[in-house]
Structure 1
């Protein structure tokens, strides 16, 4: 009777709802910071143990003769290949459910005092996703978390047990706290901020704790080790939409380069401008900090350099590097410069996304590999991050992928111009060696004249 009841049981499908994030800083005293570091150290060791176990299972699965038989199947037989690989994963325990079961045996001793069962499952899922990328060929290896780098984040699966965030009712003060292992960490909530008020009105799916390095140990909110803690609330719903961010109705064509952005709306004037022109990295200060770090590293580790100042080759042997406190302080100063530059770039990306959406909600871009630009235009791509901008534009404009619910569409078309019609280019300044930015183009079919970027966008719209 039990077997028959199990066969007739139907699994309920999980309903996916839109999600957005809200980040709040935490107030942590020295005693609580010590507890958090112990919890994160236990999470690091459990995560590394899951990676080690998963690597052994992956090697055994690939060494199985059935693995080669499954690979030899034709890709046209998709169902047969999927069934073969699924049977291999189940037989060797390389599934997410098997990792959850293995986490029960690894969460023992002192680790069980710091990590609850639900948090252990999230760590097991995280290790499985990392190893699955190696199994599918999307990554070459997994990275174990070292003690020096630490474990900077941990999250829960729900908000009713273990690591959770609670908000007091209005009659008790409207304060918010992160609860974990008997500690209560107050959150700094600005109820005058409309974005924060909008987020806290929604249901909390789960909470995520983040440990981030501060600029120094004396920075505001930093603990004795120079770290500060924030909580990310994963909320159900859509984020707050400010009234000043209007959404256009027309179609917009865009041509994004490593350092330029051309926009041609159907209604309005075309524009060609430098992408993220306000970014101004202080290269001189960063270069001096890098030289200072190199001098400090050489002074602390003279045995690793030869008489000409070159690093000695040790083959596959790992070279232990000693770090002085002044070196760590200099490295923290350089990291702070990079963090400020990244925050400024992210702000400029968000501003530009709203400017594009104000022109129109249907956006047409050129289909191109932004990762390939890293080899050709490494400096410009590393500074302006055009691929990150396109990802933010897609996440903001397209409802199935994002959360803004603008009803927009992002189309990536290959580079074509009226089918096979040629494009003739000439120099505005004849007889001179002009750079590429002053090149103009004319279409032999439509007769339009513009710069190359604007012409390619306008013809992509037609």
Structure 2
């Protein structure tokens, strides 16, 4: 399946109606969350269910199946299931049947249930209520109920509301829309994004089948060859058959961060000017003052600008990653990348430890998103992405000439391999490129065969980067 996004051309009356429907769906979402929290609390206080849970953790495989069925039966008996939530919200949904359809209400119940599943079966801590301004998508289940998209007129009809989509503006857009709409429509969602002048609305059409392939990329993606990718928290090193690349992920990120920081400082000044009694003489918040906070129209305008800046930052990261993926797939048909646990790297360090964490860098560069986009793009063109075993491979420690592993500190960015000094990340990418088929360790024969060509490309790239002033000492080593 794939999606097609079309902007909706709306007037003031339609935007007012859409805003009303988003408020209704946000209310329905919070009703479902409140119900789920109540039922989860009931589970945590039920001694019989907790006894089943304890026995499940200390039982064998066959016993676990029976205990799991008992726990599932108990949850369903109190209404804590996807169908139970859908049945519970029917009464609330009927009150707003002129605004939202039954399938949209059911889809929202399904979304809340996914959050419940994370709390029950995964690492989820608790459910969250949503503010109206944070609720940005109304889902669907079919193209015959709720928001219905019409291929011929490029429009959405939704419970008496007619919404026209913006027509494609250039040949590429016309071609992509035409090719996408050849597939059958599964369902249509309505999404909104914040801009400085308010909300903009979009139709997200979910279609069956694969996304159209761009002819230029499809022709070039046939070139055979291996590519090794060493991805860090903020940089990426790529070694292919014909070139090597060492660069930052989302290199213009600092521009967006500076813009966000400026807006935050303006918001802080505006908030302090409107609430002088809320602050002490040293600038800290006066906790004893219980009066209501006052927010000026200027502050509200800045808040919209802040949300817009965050949206632009997110869109830039994704676009930058997509462009890099498009370049990579033109020169290779096999990709080797380390299997990284980025979620573990973003967690806060425990008190009393000096272990470095990378939460800010991961937020700014999104390396996990790059890997997922590369997999998505490779699958589209029939290419392969192999995730090597980080524990057994240890690319940053290996020396293929001496066949030894040597630990090095994070700040050491250069390694001596034989008589050559090589950049650590590029050498790791070189080893990944020459991985064995199982992805367990580097193939020394392949490494020896291509090491000379690698060092020549490596030196040429480093010289060019230094000449162009592209440097980042802490990551590149120069």
- 3-state SS of paired residue (2:205): strand
How far apart are residue 258 of structure 1 and its match? 2.1
Pair 1:92 & 2:70 matched: no
Q: 1:64 to 1:178 in 2, by over 3 A?
A: same
**Alignment check: 8 A CA contact 2:334 2:384 kept:** yes
The alignment's TM-score, normalised by the length of structure 2, stands at: 0.78
Between 58-67 and 280-289, the greater mean CA deviation after superposition: 280-289
Tell me which of 286, 294, 304 is aligned to 2:268.
Answer: 294
The aligned counterpart of 2:278 is 304
Q: 1:188 to 1:282 in 2, by over 3 A?
A: closer
Q: Distance in 1 between matches of 2:381 and 2:43?
A: 43
**Alignment check: 8 A CA contact 2:195 2:305 kept:** no
Tell me which of 79, 82, 101 is aligned to 2:68.
Answer: 82
Pair 1:61 & 2:39 matched: no
Q: Distance in 2 between matches of 1:457 and 1:338?
A: 32
Q: Distance in 1 between matches of 2:287 and 2:363?
A: 30
Pair 1:176 & 2:154 matched: yes
Tell me which of 337, 342, 347 is aligned to 1:365.
Answer: 337
The aligned counterpart of 1:409 is 385
**Alignment check: 8 A CA contact 2:337 2:386 kept:** yes
The alignment's TM-score, normalised by the length of structure 1, stands at: 0.81
The aligned counterpart of 2:471 is none
The aligned counterpart of 1:8 is none
Q: Distance in 2 between matches of 1:459 and 1:213?
A: 44
Q: For residues 375-394 of structure 1, what are the structure 2 equivalents within 5 Å?
A: 376-394=357-375
- 3-state SS of paired residue (1:22): strand
The aligned counterpart of 1:122 is 107
The aligned counterpart of 2:150 is 166
Gaps of 5+ in 2: 349-356, 436-442, 444-478
Tell me which of 129, 135, 139 is aligned to 1:155.
Answer: 139
Bigger fraction of residues in helix: 2
- 1:61-99 CA-to-partner distances (Å, cap 9, x unmatched) read 232223222222235324234223222222222111111
How far apart are residue 285 of structure 1 and its match? 4.2
Q: 1:127 to 1:215 in 2, by over 3 A?
A: same
**Alignment check: 8 A CA contact 2:225 2:331 kept:** yes
The aligned counterpart of 1:49 is 31
Q: For residues 55-454 of structure 1, what are the structure 2 equivalents within 5 Å?
A: 55-72=37-54, 73=56, 74=58, 76-77=60-61, 78-109=64-95, 111-147=96-132, 149=133, 151-168=135-152, 175-190=153-168, 192=171, 193=173, 194-216=175-197, 226-245=198-217, 246-247=220-221, 248-265=223-240, 267-281=241-255, 283-313=257-287, 320-374=292-346, 376-398=357-379, 404-414=380-390, 415-416=393-394, 417=398, 421-423=403-405, 436-437=412-413, 439-442=414-417, 450-454=422-426
How far apart are residue 271 of structure 1 and its match? 3.2
Gaps of 5+ in 1: 1-18, 169-174, 217-225, 399-403, 427-433
- 3-state SS of paired residue (1:162): coil
**Alignment check: 8 A CA contact 2:337 2:385 kept:** no
How far apart are residue 352 of structure 1 and its match? 1.1
The aligned counterpart of 2:452 is none
Q: Distance in 2 between matches of 1:421 and 1:323?
A: 65
**Alignment check: 8 A CA contact 1:349 1:389 kept:** yes
How far apart are residue 279 of structure 1 and its match? 4.1
